[in-house]
Amino acid sequence: MSTLATSFTDLFGHAPDACYAAPGRVNLIGEHTDYNEGYVLPFAIDKVASIGLKVHPAAAPRLLRLASTHENAVVEVDLGKLSAETITPWARYLAGVFWAFEQRGFMLPGADILLDSTVPLGAGLSSSAAIECAVALGINEALRLNLTREELVLLCQSAENNFVGAPTGILDQSASLLSTAEHALFLDCRTRETRQVHLPLSESGLQILVINTRVSHSHDSGGYKELVAACTTGASQLGVKALRDVPLTALPAAKETLAPDIYRRVAHIVTENQRVLETIELLDSAGPTAIGQLLTQSHASMRDDFGISCPELDLAVDAALAAGALGARMTGGGFGGSAIALVHTHDAETISARVLQEFAAAHFITPEIFTVLPGPGARAL
Ligand code: GLA
């Protein structure tokens, strides 16, 4: 029995029916473009949220018993009275998925779930989407509900938007459910078309370093909502359905008409969409060594135009570049979390040491630095 299954049995007094895992993600490029109906290019990492799941008999009271290896208490939730306010925050991501299935018309039985996650919390690596996707995949498979993975993406997004209350896009859940090993996932967030883009990092002698600044952030608080609102305002003032519809060539005219803070947000989204397309072209034609500059340009755009970086993220990027990284940028929602750096494997140690040294000199919290490779999406264990 796996460690998770053993812990489950010790806690609940019976074995799980099955265990499932769903990964966190790194977004290679394409930041805040998802809710603007644009392009993203994430990949799944080898840090995962795992769950043990046992579904109760249909005739039993519809009760969820939710536990986490990081928490002490078992949280009990009556499926007949699901409301986020009455549930402790960490358990909302699990209960929210049950809520979203019920919204789709499924009447679910109760269940026992034990969560164990290795995705660092608040690090911009989609710890919450990983939990949602593990639960959604588990329910879908255990109860044979036959939803497609694409449907599960939308269901998990709905749990996060409408139950937890964070107005996020489909980037994180898509990465967790649709990724495949050794590939980045190109997603057109309007048409939902995907393409697996080969990302042969090891073969190219490269690694991606994640630098978790440990400055934590949360997307159900103000900052993220304001960004979504600014983008919506920009789109409506430019007379388009979404910023995806604004071509690069329209930016000079937009600068004349929009308020400066709205224009800067628009400029980031429009140029970022273009950078995603260029990154894919370069990956196809020249491989990952060639994309460094685009990553660094993306960071500058988020720092100077979109306004979502912070001193720790800027230092992580600058120090990595100064020590020889091919490119670096913050990844995820911003206001903290992690930066990524594309590095030659033989430079990884020197670059990590330089970042640690500069953080110490600046009296910032010591960052957590580790390498990631593009791994598989959510799966039964
Ligand atoms: C968070 C959200 C995503 C996306 C990113 C920024 O991770 O959950 O939907 O908007 O921020 O790219």
DSSP per-residue string spanning 218-259: -TTSHHHHHHHHHHHHHHHHHT-SSGGG--GGGHHHHHHHS-
Among 84, 89, 55, 83, which residue's Cα sits nearest to residue 71?
89
Question: Distance from the CA of 10 to the center of ligand 1, in angstroms?
Answer: 36
pLDDT digits (tens, 9 = 90+) for 120-130: 998 999 999 99
DSSP structure class, residue 306: I
DSSP structure class, residue 304: I
Q: Over 70: is that where the pLDDT of 276 sits?
A: yes
Ligand 1 atom with the shortest distance to the CA of 126: 7
Average pLDDT of the residues in 18-43 = 98
pLDDT digits (tens, 9 = 90+) for 286-314: 999 999 999 999 999 999 999 999 999 99
Shortest-distance Cα residue to atom 8 of ligand 1: 168
Q: How far apart are the first and last CA of the chain?
A: 11
**CATH number of the domain located at residue range(s) 3-197 in this protein:** 3.30.230.10
pLDDT band at residue 55 using 50, 70 and 90 as cut-offs: very high
171 lines ligand 1 (CB under 6 A): yes
Q: How far is CA 260 from the centre of its chain?
A: 29
Ligand 1 atom with the shortest distance to the CA of 224: 11
Residue by residue, DSSP assigns 92-157 as HHHHHHHHHHHHTT-----EEEEEEE-SPTTSSS-HHHHHHHHHHHHHHHHTT----HHHHHHHHH
Active site residues per annotation:
172
Substitution site in 121, 219, 309 for ligand 1 pocket (most atoms within 8 Å of beta carbon): 219
Question: Distance from the CA of 26 to the center of ligand 1, in angstroms?
Answer: 11
Q: Over 80: is that where the pLDDT of 279 sits?
A: yes
Average pLDDT of the residues in 32-43 = 98
Substitution site in 34, 265, 331 for ligand 1 pocket (most atoms within 8 Å of beta carbon): 34
Question: Distance from the CA of 35 to the center of ligand 1, in angstroms?
Answer: 8
168 lines ligand 1 (CB under 6 A): yes
Shortest-distance Cα residue to atom 11 of ligand 1: 333
C-alpha distances in Å from residue 207, one per residue of 198, 199, 325: 14, 11, 10
Among 184, 131, 127, 173, which residue's Cα sits nearest to residue 149?
173
Ligand 1 atom with the shortest distance to the CA of 33: 12
37 lines ligand 1 (CB under 6 A): no
DSSP structure class, residue 181: T
Ligand 1 atom with the shortest distance to the CA of 333: 11
Prediction pTM value: 0.96
d(CA 266, CA 151): 30
Question: Distance from the CA of 372 to the center of ligand 1, in angstroms?
Answer: 19
d(CA 169, CA 12): 35
- The type of residue at 79 is L
pLDDT digits (tens, 9 = 90+) for 346-369: 999 999 999 999 999 999 999 999
Shortest-distance Cα residue to atom 1 of ligand 1: 333
Domain ranges of the chain: 3-197, 201-372
pLDDT at 269: 98
Average pLDDT of the residues in 143-151 = 98
Q: Over 70: is that where the pLDDT of 21 sits?
A: yes
332 lines ligand 1 (CB under 6 A): yes
pLDDT at 1: 74
Question: 201-372 has which fold?
Answer: Alpha-Beta Plaits (3.30.70)
pLDDT at 218: 65
Phi first, then psi: give them for residue 288, nearest 5 degrees: -65, -20
